[in-house]
Amino acid sequence: MENMVNVYLFGKQYRVPENLTIMRAMEYAGYKLVRGCGCRNGFCGACATIYRIKGDKTLRTCLACQTKVENDMYVATLPFFPLVKEVYDINEISPSQRVMMQLYPEIYACVGCNACTKACTQSLNVMQYIAYAQRGEFDKCAEESFDCVMCGCCSSRCPAGISHPQVAMLARRLNGKYLAPKSEHLENRVREIKDGTFTELIEALMGKPIEELKELYNTREIEK
């Protein structure tokens, strides 16, 4: 017999095996996941979750696909968090401090509570990358926020109402468009694709059976 634990999913009690992730426990309990699930491997951020253990006042955040259930765990998932997403044309804005003042002025209302960092499911230093964004240091903000999965847990705890993932996304776009060095080999390869250099090869691959494609992929020469 598997060891079973009590979990409370959206306020209702269930008995589930202790070795399951929260996501698997929800399915074990009979939930059909049509939202709040995606890659199931910690990359997409679709399964943002808040939970509390009975007897502990701390409210915690996690990704449901990566976190195992605990006894007397109270769980609520956040399949969508309403982040503020401003509309802009990346070709019409510049990498200046002013762009953040115009699009996301709430970042300057940050009180330095660090709740965003504590809530991050990827253990990112969220408050630090917001500080970089405030100063217009978009390259540093891009680097610090690179592993963000945009789950929204940081914003759910922010008293200033900052949409941290969207701020970070803007910084990464500005960095990629204007600040980071150009990748000549990538530009050359894109040009070759547009010119049809690989059209015949691509069509030949598309005509191969799945098993042969798998074999080609598994035995491919990997650049060191």
Other Cβ atoms closer than 10 A to 105? 9
In a domain, 92, yes or no: no
Residues 118 and 125: their CA atoms lie apart, in Å, by: 8
Residues 106, 174 within the same domain: yes
Please report, for residues 50, 109, 200, 203, 221, the alpha-carbon distance to residue 214 in angstroms, rounded to integers and kept in the order given: 39, 52, 20, 16, 14
Please name every residue paired with 61 in a beta bridge, in sequence order, or none if there are none: 50
State residue 1's pLDDT score: 54
State residue 24's pLDDT score: 96
Question: Could you tell me the two tokens for 88?
Answer: 């802009």
State residue 72's pLDDT score: 97
**Quick check: 16 and 70 in contact, CB under 8 A?**
no
In a domain, 24, yes or no: yes
CATH code of 70's domain = 3.10.20.740
State residue 31's pLDDT score: 94
- Give the CA radius of gyration of the chain: 22
State residue 142's pLDDT score: 98
In a domain, 128, yes or no: yes
Residues 108 and 97: their CA atoms lie apart, in Å, by: 11
Residues 8, 66 within the same domain: yes
Nearest in space to 68 (alpha carbons), one of 118, 149, 10, 7? 7
Q: Which of 26, 50, 78 delimits the end of a domain?
A: 78
Query: CB under 8 Å to 132, separation ≥6 — which residues?
Result: 138, 140, 141, 144, 171
In a domain, 144, yes or no: yes
Q: What is the pLDDT along the chain (224 residues), one digit of tens a residue?
A: 579 999 999 999 999 999 999 999 999 999 999 888 999 998 899 999 999 999 999 999 999 999 999 999 999 998 889 999 999 999 999 999 999 999 999 999 999 999 999 999 999 999 999 999 999 999 999 999 999 999 999 999 999 999 999 999 999 999 999 999 998 999 999 999 999 999 999 999 999 999 999 999 999 988 77
- Residues of the domain holding 203: 192-218
Residues 72, 115 within the same domain: no
Number of domains in the chain: 3
Residues 48 and 65: their CA atoms lie apart, in Å, by: 9
pTM of model > 0.85: no
Residues 107, 174 within the same domain: yes
